[in-house]
Amino acid sequence: MGPVQTCLFVTFLSEHLHNVYKTNNFLSRICRQLNGLFAGLLKTKDFGTTASHISFPAIWKLWDQSLHRLPGHLSVVAQSNSIFTKPEMFDKKVELDLNVPHPRVRGMTLLNRDAFKRNVVVPAIKVNKDITNKLVKSLKEVMIKRPGLKRVIEDPEDEGRRFILLDPHKMSADGSLGQPEKEILKSFNVSPKIISYNMELTYDHFKAEEILQAVLPEGQEVTTAFSRVGHIAHLNLRDHQLPYKHLIGQVIIDKNNGITCAVNKINTIESAYRNFQMEVLAGDESNMTTKVKENYLSYEFDFSKVYWNPRLSTEHARIVNLLKSDDVLFDVFAGVGPFAIPAAKKNCIVFANDLNPESYKWLQRNCKLNKVDTKVQVFNMDGREFMKGPMKEELIKQLSLKERKSSLHIVMNLPAMAIDFLDVFQDLLDGEPSSTELPIVHCHCFSKHENPAQDVQQRAEACLGTSLEGLCSVELVRNVAPNKDMMCISFCLPAEVLYKPPSSLAGVDNTQQPESKRLRLTEDTLDEKVNPVL
């Protein structure tokens, strides 16, 4: 240990003992005097490698090790951004990590940004101003990295010099720079002498996750994940996070550029229109109208009134990719248009419907915004009525065309309920089945089954009254919750489902029908017997 380190060590030890012997006047006075004497000696700027080549972090670690055996622990209290250190006793655990805010923030529910401030000592080198840029490039791997932290600091006492701040974790075991960095410094003719630089880390220098980890009870899961919807951050907080919800919302706003409002999903309320119920946690709650881009198209809507999920962008693109120019798309639960609008952009003829008047309003607006309003017919009806009305009418027209090249697609994205709408297809049309390709249905639904594809297929079959074995494909759209998947079943509507059987006329022999249809007729007949009003 060199003379400077010895001074530091004695200063620090005497301070500690002074605290320990507070109740003994004599011992306490001796310690205080020793402390004053050695602290005075320490008022020199450059210390570290001068005498012993052992830099401050190494000594620091040494003290830390020795002091863990004493009742108090080491901490460093320092002046803001100075190179003067004053070791002091602190009744707190040593925080060597630069990513930990001050421990007093634990349990905070109302955000007080000032309370996050913490003084730390970091290693630094002193270099000539004119080579700073080149050195920064070469040393970037070992330089300190913190959000918003200046890593090159002017020397207040020497205009021509700069401090380059280093990451204490990237220093070698004895606290000095590693050999490769020493070589770099040598090539620039710079001394590898390490200086201890005292600085203040503030709220701005910590990441959202570090802030929340410091605030929430130790050991509890912290999440900074959210769905971004324009300027709104959409969170899905767990129960244990709820006491901190407003603070969490504000931290998310502070730490993410462009986010000015944070909302939390409320799971308990089921809405008729399936839009998320939400609570504003922080930020401007008066403006929930936002604008987003998805697959190069723009959508505008009031997020508090309609359904929008940025995690569906891949599914929107997947379905739209199945369509070709001139195809016809019926979007039964269209929302604000993420299937309908890109399909229209592809030159498809689109019939888009939504029951929610707000979705309908924004759907119209988005068609205009993306200049496809002449290609999309928009409806505000219950899905069932839309299927039996405008969709049926257009299907009759399309299926009567002799030389139709285009395909007909029906998208049904209301995963909690859409499968129950499939019965509408039963006997929807009269007459002879068309000789052209029949409509292709893409129906979304949730499954909690261990074999979700089989589950979805069976449920679709039950609603259609026919087997889809070998006639459908089932895609996993996304995993919604640990035990819940969103799936999409696609199939070409079987003619025997879509067309009324001639046998529905009285007296016709049911045994002429395909087996699935016979099954259905038998059930229908049974139903009639049980409930003649149906």
Binding site for ligand SAM (CB under 6 A): 273-274, 307, 312, 333-335, 338-339, 354-356, 359, 382-383, 413-414
Q: How far apart are CA 391 and CA 352, in angstroms?
A: 10
Between residues 168 and 335, which has the closer beta carbon with respect to ligand SAM? 335
Q: Token pair of 427, please?
A: 């006997």
Between residues 175 and 383, which has the closer beta carbon with respect to ligand SAM? 383
Q: Token pair of 243, please?
A: 């006491």
Between residues 101 and 338, which has the closer beta carbon with respect to ligand SAM? 338
Q: Would you say 354 is a known binding-site residue?
A: yes
Q: How far apart are CA 234 and CA 257, in angstroms?
A: 15
HSE toward the beta carbon, residue 282, CA cutoff 13 A? 19
Is residue 432 helix, strand or coil? coil
CB of 281 to ligand SAM, least distance (A): 23
CB of 271 to ligand SAM, least distance (A): 8
Q: Would you say 316 is a known binding-site residue?
A: yes
CB of 394 to ligand SAM, least distance (A): 17
Q: Token pair of 136, please?
A: 């920064």
DSSP state of 388: I
Contact 316, 338 (CB under 8 A): yes
What residue is closest to ligand SAM based on CB?
Answer: 335
Q: Would you say 64 is a known binding-site residue?
A: no
Between residues 177 and 486, which has the closer beta carbon with respect to ligand SAM? 486
CB of 288 to ligand SAM, least distance (A): 16
Q: Would you say 355 is a known binding-site residue?
A: yes
CB of 398 to ligand SAM, least distance (A): 22
Q: How far apart are CA 342 and CA 329, in angstroms?
A: 11
- Using CA atoms, how far residue 360 sits from 265, 301, 352, 444, in Å, is 23, 10, 9, 20
CB of 132 to ligand SAM, least distance (A): 51
Q: How far apart are CA 194 and CA 4, in angstroms?
A: 13
Q: Token pair of 122, please?
A: 């970091």
Q: How far apart are CA 273 and CA 414, in angstroms?
A: 9
Q: How far apart are CA 282 and CA 288, in angstroms?
A: 12
CB of 192 to ligand SAM, least distance (A): 59
Contact 339, 320 (CB under 8 A): yes
Which residue has 């320490």 as its token pair?
42
Q: Would you say 413 is a known binding-site residue?
A: yes
Known binding-site positions for S-adenosyl-L-methionine? 316, 354-355, 382-383, 413
